[in-house]
Structure 1
Amino acid sequence: MKAIVLYGAGDVRVEEVPDPTIQQPTDAIVRVVAGCVCGSDLWPYQTLPASGSGRRMGHEFLGVIEETGSQVSGLRRGQFVVAPFVWSDNTCDFCREGLQSSCRHGGTWGTWGHDLDGGQGEAVRVPLADGTLVPLPVEEDSALIPSLLTLSDVLCTGHHSAVTGGVRQGSTVTVIGDGAVGLSAVISAKRLGAERIILMGRHTDRTDLGREFGATDVVAARGEEGIAAVLELTGGDGTHAVLECVGTRDSLQTSFSIARPGGTVSCVGAPQYEEVTMDFGLFTKNIHLTGGVAPARAYIPELLPDVLSGAIEPGKVFDRTVGLDEVPKGYRAMNDREALKVLIRP
């Protein structure tokens, strides 16, 4: 079958790889109907050292079950399913607590395309299929495919930032980042009842979509100028929640400066820093720091009805669709900010 392999910074190739097979009785084989390029894929695309072996790519996909292992009981061949970006048994103590991203028997963030097949390919072996895969009540030609695909990662990650950030009816919220996760955070904050949502982003086409999703204000400035703009909009207080959806040192430092006293900073952007200085103001302002890897498997049942009904349309974050042979161009387009998020249709 065909799959995407990254051999180093900027070196994305379409290659023939072995077809996935059942290796454990709890496995399932899923034929990929839709996958995508994640913003976090751009970090290795920009920095991965050259390698002779390469690395499979893609941790977001949905598709049709082609085969199941002998111990898979809750799924059947032909079902249309979505795969969270972390696989889990959905039965261990952490899973029962809604933290499938820490499943004792499952994968870790980024497992798809590292230790296993990647979602940017024609098929994937899914371990612990009963616990991982979620059946979808639509056919594979549904017009909802783009929005349903966001349940694999980006919508759930945005939702995680809003939930852990304590967003509720009447909250004021700042979202840092106008990428797909940041825009999903806007959707999620609006869905949870935020009264005011300030979106920090510099790309007009993206911030316009953010306004459509529910942002009430847009701040294009960065650094001290951006901080001053948010504080001016909030009477000097800052916002109850700051949803940090970028993952850089600068974005996190900005978050600390614009959180309201007693407020919460939720970090869900894949961190690209080793350490961050936390000044004394965090202590005096009683700022809460939270976030982390989203347990998508816990959130899918809650978010799925709103996607199916059209109450939210997160699939609008996809602004380019490519086949597998065009994926290298898709990476370049996202890296050059010519595309927001690229949908892959094998």
Structure 2
Amino acid sequence: MRATVMYGPKVVQLESVPDPVIQEPTDAIIRVLVSCICGSDLWPYRGFDAIPEGGRPMGHEAVGVVEEVGSEVRTLKPGDVVLMPFAISDGNCEFCREGLTTACAHLQFFGAPGIGGAQAEAVRVPFADGTLYKVPARESGRALLPHLLTLTDVMGTGHHAAVTARVEPGKVVAVIGDGAVGLCGVLAARRLGAERIILLGHHPDRLELGRIFGTTDVVMERGEAAVERVRELTGFGVHSVLECVGTEEAVDMAVQIARPGGAIGRVGVPHHAGIPATTTFYKNVIVAGGPAPTRAYMPELLPDVLEGRMEPGRVFDLRLPLEQVAEGYRAMDERRAIKVLLEP
């Protein structure tokens, strides 16, 4: 089959690799219908994260069709359409039962050594019963695929930012970052009843989509000017901050614009030294968040997609065949695309 492998900064190739096979009785093999490139894939692409010798299989989000299951798989059968979240979870451990699947006792991530990536024609899924989420057969049409795909990562991650930032009806929310996760964070905040949603970003096309998703105010300033602008709009700052970038600048800004007693939901993959301890202490600011347990959020979010109450798949503004995956990386790296959808 064909699969995407990254060998170094700016070096991404689609190449022929062995077909995945059942290795454990709890495995399943899925044929990928759609996958995508994630903003977090750009960290190694830009040289910020190490790449193993021999290359790294890429891709951790997919919607697929089950082709084969191991002897101990109980809830899935060939032909089922499934959502494949970025994290592998057994579904039975203490943390999975609590809804924190990204702390599973058997946690693994797609693209890790020994685990294939989803930017491919097929992928092996360990602990298939606990990892994959079945979509009703009548709801698996191609028009829905982009929206369904967001539930495997970016929409679930935006929702996690909103939940951990304690977004509630009547609250004032700020979303830092106008990438796919930040835009989905806007959707999540609106869904949870936020009264006002301030989106901090720099790209007019993305900010316009943010307005469609529910943004009420836009802040395009940077650094201290952005902080001052948020304070002008809100007075003491915001109740909830969704930090969807992961840089030191974004985290510092989140701490500064949170009002006393506010909360920060941080879901940007951290590429910074730490979180300002003194400011968060004296402002009584709650800092929460982390890798989103997207598998646990699927039962809650899927009906809103199936019934048309939200369309998070609009973050995919470039669709490419799998053979053009390298162009997809370039487009996202150069900010020519918010998020790239790949079709094998």
Which category of TM-score, normalised to the shorter sequence, fits these structures? over 0.9
Corresponding residue of 1:146? 146
Say if 2:247 is the partner of 1:248: yes
> Any conservation in 2 of the 1:106–1:128 contact (CA below 8 Å)?
no
Equivalence for 1:123: 122
| 2:330 corresponds to | 332
Shift of 1:52: 5.2
Which of 316, 319, 333 is matched with 2:317 structurally? 319
In the alignment, the residues of structure 2 paired with residue 105 and residue 204 of structure 1 have an alpha-carbon distance, to the nearest angstrom, of: 42
- Report the counterpart of residue 272 of structure 2 in structure 1: 273
Unaligned residue ranges in structure 1 (runs of 5+): none
- Matched residues in 2 for 1:38 and 1:265: separation? 22
Q: 2: CA distance between counterparts of 1:70 and 1:281?
A: 54
Check if 1:341 corresponds to 2:339.
Answer: yes
2:64 alignment partner AA: G
Aligned partner letter, 2:303:
P
CA contact (8 A) 1:172 1:195 kept: yes
Quickly say closer, same or farther: Cα 1:238–1:83, change in 2 above 3 A. same
Alignment of 1:302-317 (within 5 A): 302-317=300-315
CA deviations on 1:258-281 (whole Å, 9 max, x unpaired) are 001100011100111233443x33
The separation in 2 between residues aligned to 1:2 and 1:51, in whole angstroms, is: 20
Are residues 1:183 and 2:175 paired?
no
SS in 1 for 2:328: helix
Give, in whole Å, the separation in 1 of the partners of 2:51 and 2:84. 29
Cα distance, 1:23–1:305 mapped onto 2, change above 3 Å: same
Distance in 1 of aligned mates of 2:211 and 2:51: 40
Partner Cα separation in structure 2 for residue 288 and residue 205 of structure 1? 32
CA distance in 1 between partners of 2:54 and 2:343 (Å): 25
Pair 1:4-2:4 in alignment: yes
Secondary structure of the structure 1 residue equivalent to 2:210: helix
Matched-pair contact (CA < 8 Å) for 1:33–1:140:
no
Q: What SS does the aligned partner of 1:7 have? A: strand
- Displacement of 1:140 after TM fit? 5.0
Q: Which residue of 2 aligns with 1:34?
A: 34
DSSP-derived class of the 1:339 partner: coil
Identity percentage over the alignment?
56
Instruction: Find the aligned partners of 2:275 and 2:311 in 1 and give their Cα distance.
Output: 35
RMSD of the TM alignment (CA)? 1.2
Structure 1 residues 310 and 140 mapped into 2: Cα distance closer, same or farther (>3 Å)? closer
Whole-angstrom distance in 2 between the partners of 1:281 and 1:245:
20
Deviations 1:126-170 (A, max 9, x none): 000011111112465431100000010000000000001100110
* Partners of 2:253 and 2:266 in 1: CA distance: 12
Find the aligned partners of 2:74 and 2:52 in 1 and give their Cα distance.
Answer: 40
Distance 1:104 1:69 in 2: 21
Q: Which residue of 2 aligns with 1:164?
A: 164
